[in-house]
Amino acid sequence: MTSATDSRIYEYVAICVAHNDDTISALLRDTENICRPIVDVEGFTDAHQALERINAFRSPNLRVVMVITDQNLPDMSGLDLLLAVHENPENRAIRKVLLASKPTTDDLLRALNRGALHRTLPLPWTRNELCDCIHTLLTSFFIHHAPQDIHHVSQVLDTTQFPHAYITAKQQQQALDFQLKTSKRSFLATVDMSDEEVENAMGAAIDETLDYPPRCNYPAGTVLIQQDEPVEKISILVSGQVQLFRKIDNHEVVLHTHSAGRIIGLLTLAQRQRAFFTCRAVTDVSLLTLTFEQLDTALQASPWLSGYFVTTLIRSLSTRSKHTAQLMAEIENLNNKLQGERDELADALDKLKQVQTRLVESEKMATLGQLTAGIAHELNNPTAAVQRAVDFIAEDIVSLVTQLPDSGLIKSIIESAMTDAPMSTRELRKRGTELATVIGDDALTRRLVKIGITSPDAYRKKFNKLLGVKREKLLASLECYHELGTSLRTLSICSDRISGIVRSMKSYARSDQELVGNVDVHEGLEDTLRILNHQIRGIEIKRSYGELPLIECHVGEINQVWTNLISNALQAMGDTGTLRLITDQLDNEHVRVRIIDSGLGIAPDAIKRIFELHFTTKGGRVKFGLGMGLPICRRIVSRHGGDMMVESQPGETCFSVVLPVHHSRDPENEIS
């Protein structure tokens, strides 16, 4: 191929493609005679093989310089082969020649428009025509793409083209240098020019290069560019003001009027995007409207225009950027202010919730107090009447008995029944053991022991050796009097119990408008147990009361705390369990009450929220109760200057309440 002394940078290859052996042989022969020894020549009768060979040249020092192909190929046309070669960007510099007897105009235009065809030759060709074509195209290739090898390949070049090519290249280089220098100088020269001066100079340059294109005038309110619509032209604002805005959710977000700038639509048009903003005339405006092609022509024709244009564009973008930064700063300030107002609103809402809770609490307390006081009042009078009636009946019965035979025996039986506590069956059997031995009748013994006759001496004394019908008649009479005494005793006990409950209710519902001193904590706990007695069946109560001083507090509210905690403990245990009440004095100024149940306990994730308002561990089930909820209980204790804590594990939950002996007089802690 090349001699050892050849110092060319590249080795070059020409590809020939023809439809039959005779044509390819002739084409190879003539091409080799013209190109050798500078350019190697390879021939193909198959277009696909030729295309693979061309694309396979990847050696850094081997280049394909020319492809000569016949139009009539069996597998694809010659033009299709040249177009396929041209599709690869690395093959764009290859000179492409078509051999055709009568090529169609459409095919030629298709190849020429895409730059895939440099020359056509008739088929058959003449050697002179082929030689002229090869020399001309190789000269063009080496001048533009391999000038460093021109002196090595001069044998295959048309040297008459060199002067013209040199002059053309020199002129292009000078023009580029002049335009670059002019652009740099014009851009730097605009630094000290005002916006108005630069814009006027830009308009003058456009007028000069485009022969004074017409201005368009629009009234205020005219929409010049519509959001999300295609932009086909750019507008240069000659006079007037415009406004940019974007509609979001039927609301116009406006960009500052003075931030719009003089060039309208350039960025959208240059990027081939739809308009992001709507542009609307604020005042009557005059616009210089240009297509993208017109602007490109003007920029290429005027070396000064690009500097003015770029300066105007940069200053417009700078103004928008500054305004955007100002907007960001304003938004940040507004966000900070809004955050402050949000915090203040959150505090206000929290305080409102506290006040609302206090109002609800106070209302419930007042209602509970009124209800309890009313019930206590209504029960107090009939209970006292029952107690007086029991006393009167007992006195009357005793008076009537004195007129009967055996009055002493009957009176003692009645008084014994009214005063002695009822005996269990085991106690009855124990006391009647000696009497049964003497009498020898177990049934009679049980009847005698039941009415209080438990010894042989008492039996002999009261029955005086009565036997048979007389003994039975006296025993039956004594049993009736004993039942009468027992009934009177039951009425007395029940009326006393009702009176105790009424007293507890009165203590429980005491008015809390003022602090009460000398309050017994144990009395409040016992009153609560009496109130909740119906829930305590099956529950073992263990008291461990220490020596406590009397304290100063709002009695009704503190009793509410005990009620809530004890009621919750009873519900947690269900029907069985152990409730422990432990009290002690922590120091001279504080007492502590611990209420401990043996229920399932409170889950760790729930115990963190146990004092939150509206939080419950009862699975959404709500039962009627006297308690006001743990959050309110804790608030009551806090207002008293105390503290409330909870510890829980399976089988043991302990609520601890610490109260001061002397209540704080701080007005903020007073119950409103």
Q: Residue 516: phi, psi to the nearest 5? A: -120, 130
Domain boundary among 503, 531, 563: 503
Structure token pair of residue 300: 């290429």
Q: Say yes or no: 421 and 535 in one domain.
A: no
- CATH (domain of 530): 3.30.565.10
Q: What is the reported pLDDT for 87?
A: 87
Q: Say yes or no: 433 and 525 in one domain.
A: no
Task: List the one residue out of 641, 618, 35 whose CA is nearest residue 630.
Answer: 618
Q: Quick check: 512 pLDDT over 70? A: no
Give 591's pLDDT tier (boundaries 50, 70, 90). Answer: very high
Q: Say yes or no: 496 and 515 in one domain.
A: no
Q: What is the reported pLDDT for 488?
A: 78
Q: Quick check: 587 pLDDT over 70? A: yes
Q: Say yes or no: 272 and 397 in one domain.
A: no
pTM over 0.75: no
Beta strands per DSSP E along 228-274: 233-239, 242-248, 251-255, 263-264
- CATH (domain of 236): 2.60.120.10
Structure token pair of residue 647: 């510890």
More reliable by pLDDT, 361 or 278: 278
Of the candidate ranges 111-125, 308-322, 585-599, the one whose mean pLDDT is the lowest? 308-322
Q: How many domains does the chain have?
A: 4
Of the candidate ranges 326-330, 339-343, 457-461, 554-558, the one whose mean pLDDT is the lowest? 457-461
Say what percent of the chain tops pLDDT 70.
77
More reliable by pLDDT, 661 or 302: 661
Q: Quick check: 564 pLDDT over 60? A: yes
Task: Specify if 372 maps to a domain.
Answer: no
Task: Specify if 363 maps to a domain.
Answer: no
Render pLDDT for 405-424 as a digit per residue (tens, 0 to 9): 777 777 777 777 777 666 65
Q: Say yes or no: 471 and 534 in one domain.
A: no
Domain boundary among 503, 529, 555: 503
Mean pLDDT of 209-230: 85
Q: Quick check: 537 pLDDT over 90? A: no
Q: Say yes or no: 497 and 557 in one domain.
A: no
Mean pLDDT of 563-579: 90
Q: What is the reported pLDDT for 618?
A: 56
Task: Specify if 104 maps to a domain.
Answer: yes
Render pLDDT for 160-176 as a digit per residue (tens, 0 to 9): 766 665 666 565 555 55
Q: What is the reported pLDDT for 367?
A: 63
- CATH (domain of 122): 3.40.50.2300
Q: What is the reported pLDDT for 340?
A: 87
Give 566's pLDDT tier (boundaries 50, 70, 90). Answer: very high
Give the span between the Cα atoms of 453 and 462, in whole angstroms: 9
SS (HEC) of 406-453: CHHHHHHHHHHHHHCCCCCHHHHHHHCHHHHHHHCCHHHHHHHHHCCC
Q: What is the reported pLDDT for 184?
A: 52
Q: Say yes or no: 395 and 468 in one domain.
A: yes
Q: Say yes or no: 515 and 499 in one domain.
A: no
Task: Specify if 187 maps to a domain.
Answer: no
Q: What is the reported pLDDT for 536?
A: 84
Q: What is the reported pLDDT for 393?
A: 81
Q: What is the mean pLDDT of the chain?
A: 78
Range of the domain at 223: 195-302
CA distances from residue 372 to 91, 487, 525, 562, 584 in whole angstroms, order as listed:
105, 30, 17, 16, 30
Render pLDDT for 333-342 as a digit per residue (tens, 0 to 9): 888 888 888 8
Q: What is the reported pLDDT for 626?
A: 37
Give 252's pLDDT tier (boundaries 50, 70, 90). Answer: confident
CA distances from residue 593 to 156, 307, 565, 583 in whole angstroms, order as listed:
116, 89, 11, 5
Of the candidate ranges 196-200, 276-280, 500-504, the one whose mean pLDDT is the lowest? 500-504
Of the candidate ranges 249-263, 436-450, 505-519, the one whose mean pLDDT is the lowest? 505-519
Q: Say yes or no: 428 and 486 in one domain.
A: yes
H or E element in which residue 623 lies: none
Q: Quick check: 4 pLDDT over 50? A: no
Give 264's pLDDT tier (boundaries 50, 70, 90). Answer: confident
Q: Are 293 and 262 in contact (CB under 8 A)?
A: no
Q: Say yes or no: 410 and 284 in one domain.
A: no
Give 453's pLDDT tier (boundaries 50, 70, 90). Answer: confident
Q: Are 609 and 550 in contact (CB under 8 A)?
A: no
Mean pLDDT of 584-603: 93
Task: Specify if 186 maps to a domain.
Answer: no
Domain boundary among 157, 182, 207: 157
Task: Specify if 373 maps to a domain.
Answer: no
Q: Quick check: 666 pLDDT over 60? A: no
Q: Say yes or no: 529 and 652 in one domain.
A: yes
Q: Exposed/middle/buried for 290, CB within 10 Å: 0-12, 13-18, 19+?
A: buried
The DSSP line for 573-612 is: HTTSEEEEEEEEEEETTEEEEEEEE-SS---HHHHTTTTS
Q: Say yes or no: 148 and 203 in one domain.
A: no
Q: What is the reported pLDDT for 197?
A: 78
Task: Specify if 448 maps to a domain.
Answer: yes
Task: Specify if 5 maps to a domain.
Answer: no
Q: What is the reported pLDDT for 369?
A: 63
Give 313's pLDDT tier (boundaries 50, 70, 90). Answer: confident
